[in-house]
Copies of this chain bind each other. A is one copy, B any other.
Amino acid sequence: MAITVVGSVAFDSIETPSGRQERCLGGAATHFALAASFFTEVRVIAVVGEDFGPEQQSVFDGRSIDTTGIEHVAGKSFFWEGSYLENLNEAKTHNTELNVFATFEPKIPEAYRDSEFLFLANIDPVLQRRVREAMPDVKLVAGDTMNYWINDHRAALLEVLKGLDILLINDTEARVLGGDKNLVKAARAVMALGPKLLVIKHGEYGATLFQRDAPSSTFKAPALPLEEVVDPTGAGDSFAGGFFGYLASQKELTPASYRHAMFYGSVMGSFAVERFGTERIRALTRQEIDDRFELFRALTHLG
């Protein structure tokens, strides 16, 4: 079943201990769509400026990604510059230029309306809510957010959370949003705000799935021990793409589906960080995904 995703398509300039990359195509919707496209059809809603040309479009071409909903307007695309020199788990932002994103009004193409899955990537919760309300018939809605929205746009974010089935955030975000240092208590507080399922991503320590109505069904996916994390940008969005893409590919959602989705999320996140930007995911094959899935199984199963 098809997923509609709304989020940023952006240019990123990134510096990590492995090097520096100027203006590579990024943005949450880009990373999510590429990862999810290995599992199902993805439809993107975003806005780009005149600097988004055929080279950028080619990142999406030849995949099961519908870009009809990427609006082209006058001006420059969203631009982000950041580094991970001190800490690979947390980006230091040097520059953010919203550009065309400052006046973004998401429009949903008619052909997207039968999407059964909706992913609200990390953008202004006002926009997330607008898209959610414009697609009332979707079967499953997942979303992401960040500390900026949690701290400074809490009221708008709380409205979004009410309409979410699944929220994917990291440790720090969960602690701040849930108002508790303890992750289990924070998770419970977050799920009381709306989401039935909560995925907390722990970076190099994997991720945990909490279930509001089945506290004993908590499930953990590992992260792959990697010798080099070239670029963490987009790892969380790639996790979300693998997780939600897998779910959307299933005829029926069973408890086992969610466990497998957690593994596919971790698998896609582990590939994403191996090279700068979207480079690794673009070069990926389905066979590599399946092989790594088995690696994750060996890493965690008693056998």
Q: Is the CB of B218 within 8 A of A220?
A: no
In whole angstroms, what is the CA distance A112 to B140 when docked?
A: 62
In the assembled complex, the Cα of A210 lies from the Cα of B300 at a distance in Å of 13
CB atoms of A302 and B227 under 8 A apart: no
Contact B185–A219 (Cβ < 8 Å): no
**Which residue of chain B lies nearest to A259 when distances are taken between CB atoms in the complex?**
B302
Closest to A222 in B: B220
Question: Are the CB atoms of A204 and B183 closer together than 8 Å?
Answer: yes
Chain A 210-260 residues near chain B, CB threshold 8 A: 210, 216, 218-220, 222, 225-229, 255-256, 259-260
Q: Indicate if A205 sits at the interface (CB-CB under 8 A).
A: yes
- How distant is the Cα of A228 from the Cα of B218 in the complex, in angstroms? 16
Minimum CB–CB distance from A282 to chain B (whole Å) comes to 25
- Count identical subunits in the complex: 2
Interface check A297, CB cutoff 8 A:
yes
Q: Does A143 contact B (CB under 8 A)?
A: no
User: Given contacts A204-B183, A205-B202, A205-B206, is CB(A299)–CB(B227) below 8 Å?
Assistant: no
**Residue among A208, A220, A256, A263 with most chain B CB within 10 A:** A220
A182 touches B227 (CB 8 A): yes
- Pair A228/B182 contact, Cβ less than 8 Å: yes
Closest to A255 in B: B303
From A204, which residue of chain B is reached at the shortest CB distance? B183
Query: Are the CB atoms of B302 and A263 closer together than 8 Å?
Result: yes
Q: B residues within 8 A CB of A298?
A: 216
Chain A residues with a Cβ closer than 8 Å to the other chain, count: 33
Q: Is A184 an interface residue (CB 8 A)?
A: yes
A220–B263 touching, CB < 8 Å: no
Question: A220 to B184, Cβ gap below 8 A?
Answer: no
- Cross-chain contact B219 with A299 (CB below 8 angstroms): yes
In the complex with contacts A202-B205, A205-B202, A206-B205, A225-B301 CB distance below 8 A = no
A255 contacts which chain B residues (CB < 8 A)? 303
Q: Which residue of B lies closest to A209 (CB)?
A: B299
A184-202 CB mask vs B (1 if < 8 Å, else 0) is 1101000000000000001
Nearest chain B residue, comparing its CB with the CB of A263? B302
List 14 A-B pairs, Cβ < 8 Å: A202-B205, A205-B205, A206-B220, A216-B298, A218-B225, A218-B299, A219-B300, A222-B300, A255-B303, A259-B303, A297-B302, A300-B300, A300-B301, A301-B302
Contact surface of A with B, Cβ cutoff 8 Å? 182-185, 187, 202, 204-206, 208, 210, 216, 218-220, 222, 225-229, 255-256, 259-260, 263, 297-303
Return the 9 tightest CB-CB contacts between A and B, nearest first.
A205-B205, A220-B222, A184-B227, A184-B225, A300-B300, A259-B302, A220-B299, A218-B225, A220-B300
